[in-house]
Structure 1
Amino acid sequence: MYPFIFRTVFSHMDPERAHHLVIPVIRAFGIWPLRPIVRALTAPHPILRTRALGLVFDSPFGVAAGFDKNAVMSEGLYALGFGHVEVGTVTAVAQDGNPRPRLYRLVSDRALINRMGFNNAGAAAAATRLARSRRRPRRTVLGGNIGKSRIVDVEHATADYVTSTKLVAPVADYLVVNVSSPNTPGLRGLQAVETLRPLLEAVRDAAGTTPLLVKIAPDLADEEIEGVARLAVDLGLAGLVATNTTISRRGLQADARAVEAMGPGGLSGIPLRARALEVLRIVRGAVPREFCVISAGGVETADDVQERLDAGANLVQGYTGFIYRGPLWARQINRDLAARRRRG
């Protein structure tokens, strides 16, 4: 049913408008009495229960940051079967993001290009919603993803991140420092180890006991990835998220002129699959076994999820696949993963 709806309705709509139209639907799935009914149909098999970051996840498969920017859909996404939801990216200062249009589909590649620019209602608003969700006895694991406010100069980024940390860390199950989005000027420069160290030290100290991770770009050179991974271990971080979107446009099936007309932004979806897997293997080879690695990028099927787990990921995240697979996406992946495990 969903592929038909996508082809006949959503594919003809502006992608951002379509996303905003489905938000109230997903939120409705999280409201009583729908929530327990939907969850009963989608709940992951107990065989998928996963331990990471000192937490228990119903499934290793969750939602990457960017899908639920303002922490308004977490209960609905839990009802749909996701093992965790990483909300955000949120910033200390509420912001509108980049001018529209800023989100594009590449249907032939099962991909997206976005230059959203951290549009969000601010860390304080997200923290209020996270606190409300955490009071539920049955819920998904909630991660908070924080980024730099656009109006803040790069040299003042650390203080900006610390402000968000103090708001979000107390009400999140884990916290992710996003220094790898291509859509905020100067942000990716913070991934340089000499710049990243003092930023992560400050955020780590502000986060207290909340597990802290850092999210990196797939466009870093392999030795830079190893450097960030070793830094994260050295600073006592809980883990690393690999990867964010890519600025590369290599290997796309879509018409090159059409892609160029879409302009700059981060590419996500199937074209990122190979590089995301490479980065995962590089990171896993550079960190201890107990260090948590969350893999994202190009994940659409249970085969993709299992491949990441086999390559050393503790958890796996998806986003773009939701647009092409629809609301039963997590349910199908969880069922396929559980069937694999039962077969041994």
Structure 2
Amino acid sequence: MYPFIFRTVFARMDPETAHHAAMLVIRALGVAPLSWAVRRLTAPAPELATTALGLTFDSPFGVAAGFDKDVKGAAGLYSLGFGHVEVGTLTAIPQGGNPRPRLFRLIPDRAVINRMGFNNTGAERAAVRLKKLRKRSKRAVLGVNIGKSRVVDVENATADYVQSALLLAPLADYLVVNVSSPNTPGLRGLQAVQTLRPLLSAVREAAGSVPLLVKIAPDLEDDEVTAVAQLAVDLGLAGLIATNTTIARDGLISDDAVVRAAGAGGLSGAPLKARSLEVLRLVRAAVPAEFCVISAGGVETGADVEERLEAGANLVQGYTAFLYRGPLWARQINQALAK
């Protein structure tokens, strides 16, 4: 049913408009008593419960940051069967993001290009919504992803991240430092170990006892991946997320003119699968067993999630395939994992 709806309705809409329309429905699904009824239909099997970061997840499969940028649909996403929801990316200073259009589908590749630019209403307003959400959805595991405000110079990035961490860490089950989006000028340069060390040290102190993770790009060289992973261990971080979107355009089957028309931005979806799996294996080989590794990128099916778990991921996240597979996607993956 959903593939037909996608082809005849959503595929003909502007992608960002379609996303906002879907979010209206998802937000409604997060309101009781409808949320209780939906969660009864989608709840993961008890045997899928997973322990990581000192937390218990109903399923190892969750929704990645980027889908619910402003903490407006997290309760509905949890109702749809995800084991955790990572909100954001949130910035200390509210920002509108890049000019539209900034979200593009590559349907033959089951992929998306985005250059959203961390559009969000800011950490302070997000904190208010998180407090309300905590009262309503006590079981949902919530990650909070933070990034650099666009108007802040890279030289002042640490203070900017710390400001967000102080506001949001007390309301998060875990906190993620995003230094890997390609859509904020200068951001990916923060992944260099000499720059990343003081930033992560300061945010870790601001986060207190809340588990802190760092999210990296798939475009790092292999030795850079290993270096960042080892740095995260040295600094006492709880984990690492591999990976964010890619700036590469290799191996796409979509028409070249369509890809060129979409322009710059991060590519996500099925084409990212192979590299994301490679980076996962590099990270797992560089960190101790107790270090949490979350794998994201190119995940579509229960078999994909199983492959990531077997490769050493503690948890797995998805986003882009949600657009192509519809609202029962998490339920389908959980059912496959239970078998």
Tell me the secondary structure at the aligned position of residue 129 of structure 1.
helix
Query: Could you report, residue by residue, the CA deviation over 1:40-64 in whole angstroms, capped at 9, with x for unpaired residues?
Result: 1000000000000000000000000
The equivalent of 1:271 in structure 2 is: 271
Q: Which amino acid aligns with 2:80?
A: L
Distance in 1 of aligned mates of 2:288 and 2:337: 26
Distance in 2 of aligned mates of 1:261 and 1:38: 39
Show the 5 A alignment for 1:119-268.
119-136=119-136, 138-268=138-268
Tell me the secondary structure at the aligned position of residue 271 of structure 1.
helix
1:117 equivalent in alignment to 2:109: no
Amino-acid identity (%): 73
The equivalent of 1:290 in structure 2 is: 290
- Normalised TM-score (structure 2): 0.99
Tell me the secondary structure at the aligned position of residue 86 of structure 2.
strand
CA contact (8 A) 1:133 1:139 kept: no
Structure 1 unaligned runs (5+)?
340-344
Query: Could you report, residue by residue, the CA deviation over 1:129-183 in whole angstroms, capped at 9, with x for unpaired residues?
Result: 1122222364320000000000000000000000000011000000000000000
Runs ≥4 residues deviating over 6 A: none
The equivalent of 2:35 in structure 1 is: 35
CA contact (8 A) 2:89 2:145 kept: yes
Aligned residues: 339
Distance in 2 of aligned mates of 1:249 and 1:140: 36
Tell me the secondary structure at the aligned position of residue 136 of structure 2.
coil
Distance in 2 of aligned mates of 1:162 and 1:109: 38
Tell me the secondary structure at the aligned position of residue 231 of structure 1.
helix
Q: Which amino acid aligns with 1:58?
A: D
Structure 2 unaligned runs (5+)?
none
CA contact (8 A) 1:86 1:143 kept: yes
Distance in 2 of aligned mates of 1:173 and 1:195: 26
The equivalent of 2:5 in structure 1 is: 5
The equivalent of 1:91 in structure 2 is: 91
CA contact (8 A) 2:75 2:137 kept: no
CA contact (8 A) 1:179 1:214 kept: yes
Query: Could you report, residue by residue, the CA deviation over 1:26-80 in whole angstroms, capped at 9, with x for unpaired residues?
Result: 0111111111110110000000000000000000000000000001111101110
Per the TM alignment, residue 266 of structure 1 is displaced from its structure 2 partner at its CA by 0.1
Per the TM alignment, residue 101 of structure 1 is displaced from its structure 2 partner at its CA by 0.2
Distance in 2 of aligned mates of 1:17 and 1:137: 27
CA contact (8 A) 2:300 2:321 kept: yes
1:302 equivalent in alignment to 2:289: no
Distance in 2 of aligned mates of 1:207 and 1:231: 17
Distance in 1 of aligned mates of 2:145 and 2:11: 29
Q: Which amino acid aligns with 1:218?
A: P
Distance in 1 of aligned mates of 2:122 and 2:3: 34
Distance in 1 of aligned mates of 2:310 and 2:152: 40
Per mean C-alpha deviation after superposition, the further-off stretch among 125-134 and 95-104 is 125-134
Per mean C-alpha deviation after superposition, the further-off stretch among 211-220 and 252-261 is 252-261
Instruction: Note closer, same or farther for the CA distance 1:281–1:173 as it changes in structure 2 (3 Å cut).
Output: same
Show the 5 A alignment for 1:66-85.
66-85=66-85
Per mean C-alpha deviation after superposition, the further-off stretch among 170-179 and 21-30 is 21-30
Q: Which amino acid aligns with 1:147?
A: G
CA contact (8 A) 1:91 1:148 kept: yes
CA contact (8 A) 1:75 1:139 kept: no
Distance in 2 of aligned mates of 1:323 and 1:171: 28
Per mean C-alpha deviation after superposition, the further-off stretch among 131-140 and 164-173 is 131-140
CA contact (8 A) 1:269 1:320 kept: yes
Distance in 1 of aligned mates of 2:41 and 2:322: 18
Query: Could you report, residue by residue, the CA deviation over 1:281-326 in whole angstroms, capped at 9, with x for unpaired residues?
Result: 0000000000000000000100100000000000000000100000
Distance in 1 of aligned mates of 2:262 and 2:75: 33
- Normalised TM-score (structure 1): 0.98
Tell me the secondary structure at the aligned position of residue 183 of structure 1.
coil
